[in-house]
Amino acid sequence: MAPGIALSSADRRVWLIIGAIIFAGLVTIPLSQQVFGLRLTYTVRVVALGGSILGVISGVLGCFAVLRQESLLGDALSHAALPGVAIAFLLAGRELSVLLIGAGIASWLGLRMVAAILNTTRIKQDTALGIVLVSWFAAGIALLAYIQAIPDASQAGLDHFIFGQAAAIIERDVTLVSGVGLAVLLFIALFWKEFKLVTFDAEFAGANGFRVGLINTVLSTLIVITIVLGLQLAGVILMVGMLIAPGIAARQWTHKLDQMVILAAVFGAFSGGVGAVISALDSDIPTGPMIIVVAFGLVLLSITLAPERGLLWRRLSQRANRRRFAAQNTLRDIYRYALSHGGADSLAPADFIRGVGDRSAELGLRQLRAAGQAAPGDGGWRLTESGIQQARQIARNERLWDMYRLYAHELELPILQEVRQVDIASVLPAAAVKQLESKLQEVDDSA
C-alpha cells in the first residue's frame, strides 16, 4: 500500500469515470435517435446543450454548497426566487434576462434575510431557512395566481418556473446561461484557494487575514446566480437537486476537491443534458423532475458502487477482512499449539482449534486449506511447509509491532494506529522497519 501507487490508481479511477460518463452522454443522444425514434430537431439540440451547460455550472457550485453543508440554504434560496420572477414580470414584461434579474434579487434578499434572522434573534438556522423558504414561496405563488388572472398575461407561462420547462428554452437563453455561467466559473477558478480555505476552516482563514465575510458573500452570491440560471429549466422547487446531486455523487468517488469539482461538472452535464432531452420529447413532461431523476440515479449508483465509500464496496471489503483475519488467527493458534507440542509441524487437535477460535476458526480453516497452508488428518490439523513459513512471518510481524509499541517514541517513528494483523512494512517506511528489526535482534541476543 505504497501511497504513491495507491493514489495514482484512485486518480485513474476518477478519470475513468469521467471518461465513461462523457462517453455515455455522447452515445445516448444519437442512440436515442435510433432506438426511440427521437428526432434530434434543432429544438432538442438546443435544450440538450442548455441542460448540459447548466449542469456543469450547478455541479461545480453545488460541490461548495454540499461541503459547506448548505444544501437547505440552496433550497430556501431557489424558493425565494419565485416572487422576484413575478414582480419582474409585472414591472418589465416577459424577457428572460429581466425575469432572472428579478429572481436573483429576490433570492439574494432571501439570503440576507436568513443572515438577519440569525444575527438578530435566537432562532436557529433550520428554522430561519424554513421561515424564508415558506414565506417567499407563498408570496411567489400568490403573485403568480394574481398574474394568471390578468387577461393578456395568462399566456406568459410563468408557472413553468415552478417545475421548469425545457421546451420553453430558445437559443438566446442558452447564450445567456453560457455567458453568465462562464463568468461564475471564472470566479471559482480565480478564488479557488480562498473558497477552499474558507470552506474547510473559516476560523483559520480569518486568523490569516482573509476577509471571511466577503469571501462567504461572494460564494453565496455565485450560488444564488447559479440557482437563478437554472430556474427556467429545473424550476424553483427542484433546482436544489440539480445543485447538490452532482456534488454528492462526485464526493463518493474521490478525496480531492479539484477532482470532485470536475467529476460533479461531468455528472451535472450528463443529468442536465439527458434529463432535458427526455422532457423535451413531450411538452407534458416537466424538466425539473426529469433532470433530478437522472441526477439521483447517479447518486444512487455512486453511493452503492464507489470504492471506499460505496455501500457494496464496504460490505465486500469487510467480508474480505473478516476472512483474512480469521485465517491469520487460526494459523497463529495452530502454530503456537504445534510449537509447544513437539514442533511446528505437529498436529493440533480440531477441538482445540475450534475451542480457541470459536466460529471464526471454521472460516479460518477453510481458507488455510484452500491456500494449502494447513491440512486435516488424525482428528486435527497440521501446518504445511508454506503454512509454517506464513506463520513465522505473522509471528515476526507481531513481534515487530511489539517493538514498535516499545520503541516508536525513542526511535522517533511516525505515529500509527496499531493494527497488528497488518504487515508493518506496508505502513512504515523501509528505514523504520530496519530500525525495528535491529531492535528485535538486540532483544533476541540479550535473551
Partner 1 sequence: MSIAMPDHSHGVHAADSARLALAVDDLTVAYNEKPAIWDIDLAVPEGVLMGVVGPNGAGKSTLIKAVLNLIPRAAGAVSFYGKPYERARSLVGYVPQRGSVDWDFPTSVLDVVTMGLYGKLGWFRRPGKRERELALHALDQVGLVDFADRQISQLSGGQQQRTFLARALVQDAQIYFMDEPFSAVDAVTENAIVGILQALNKRGKTVLVVHHDLQTVAQYFDWVTLLNVEVIASGLTSEVFTPENLRRTYGGRVSYLHAANGDA
Considering beta carbons, is residue 4 or 151 the nearer one to partner 1? 4
Contact between 373 and partner 1 by CB under 8 A: the answer reads no
The site for partner 1, by CB under 8 A, has a size of 40
Which residues have a Cβ under 8 Å from the Cβ of 63 and sit 6 or more positions away? Answer: 246, 247, 250, 251, 257, 260, 261, 264
Site for partner 1, residues 66 to 85, rule: CB under 8 A? 67, 69
Contact between 204 and partner 1 by CB under 8 A: the answer reads yes
Alpha carbons 290 and 305: distance in angstroms, whole number: 23
Alpha carbons 73 and 69: distance in angstroms, whole number: 9
| 113, 131, 153, 210: which one binds partner 1 (CB under 8 A) | 210
Piece of the chain touching partner 1 by CB under 8 A; list 20-28, 79-87, 164-172, 187-195: 187-195
Pull the grid cell for residue 315.
460490505
Buried b (16+ CB within 10 A) or exposed e, 55-86: bbbbbbbbbbbbbbebbbbbbbbbbbbbbbbb
Min dist CB 206 to partner 1, Å, is: 5
* Contact by Cβ (8 Å): 312, 319: no
In Å, what is the CA distance from 167 to each residue of 256, 269, 323, 335? 37, 18, 55, 73
Considering beta carbons, is residue 15 or 200 the nearer one to partner 1? 200
Contact between 301 and partner 1 by CB under 8 A: the answer reads no
Min dist CB 424 to partner 1, Å, is: 13
Considering beta carbons, is residue 52 or 254 the nearer one to partner 1? 254
| 417, 444, 445, 447: which one binds partner 1 (CB under 8 A) | 417
Task: DSSP for 321-388, please give it.
Answer: HHHHHHHHHHHHHHHHHHHTTTSTTS-EEHHHHHHHHTHHHHHHHHHHHHTTSEEEETTEEEE-HHHH
Min dist CB 303 to partner 1, Å, is: 14
Pull the grid cell for residue 294.
437522472
Three-state secondary structure call for residue 168:
helix
Contact between 307 and partner 1 by CB under 8 A: the answer reads no
Contact between 65 and partner 1 by CB under 8 A: the answer reads no
Contact between 19 and partner 1 by CB under 8 A: the answer reads no
Contact between 159 and partner 1 by CB under 8 A: the answer reads no
Considering beta carbons, is residue 130 or 206 the nearer one to partner 1? 206
* Contact by Cβ (8 Å): 214, 206: no
Considering beta carbons, is residue 123 or 197 the nearer one to partner 1? 197
Alpha carbons 219 and 194: distance in angstroms, whole number: 10
Amino acid, single-letter form, for residue 186: L
Nearest Cα to Cα of residue 60 among 210, 173, 186: 186
Pull the grid cell for residue 120.
438578530
Min dist CB 409 to partner 1, Å, is: 6
Considering beta carbons, is residue 197 or 356 the nearer one to partner 1? 197
Considering beta carbons, is residue 40 or 186 the nearer one to partner 1? 186
Alpha carbons 278 and 276: distance in angstroms, whole number: 6
Contact between 244 and partner 1 by CB under 8 A: the answer reads no
Contact between 188 and partner 1 by CB under 8 A: the answer reads no
Task: DSSP for 230-243, please give it.
Answer: HHHHHHHHHHHHHH
Contact between 257 and partner 1 by CB under 8 A: the answer reads yes
Which residues have a Cβ under 8 Å from the Cβ of 74 and sit 6 or more positions away? Answer: 62, 65, 223, 227, 239, 240, 243, 244
Contact between 206 and partner 1 by CB under 8 A: the answer reads yes
Min dist CB 8 to partner 1, Å, is: 10
Min dist CB 443 to partner 1, Å, is: 20
Query: Quick one: CA torsion of 310, 316, 318, 323, rounded to 10 degrees?
Result: -170
Piece of the chain touching partner 1 by CB under 8 A; list 84-92, 98-106, 194-202, 226-234: 194-202
Contact between 332 and partner 1 by CB under 8 A: the answer reads no
| 171, 351, 412, 442: which one binds partner 1 (CB under 8 A) | 412
| 172, 255, 319, 434: which one binds partner 1 (CB under 8 A) | 255
Q: In the complex, which residues of this chain contact partner 1 (CB under 8 A)? A: 3-4, 7, 67, 69, 122, 190-194, 196-197, 199-201, 203-210, 251, 254-257, 259-260, 408-409, 412-415, 417, 428-429
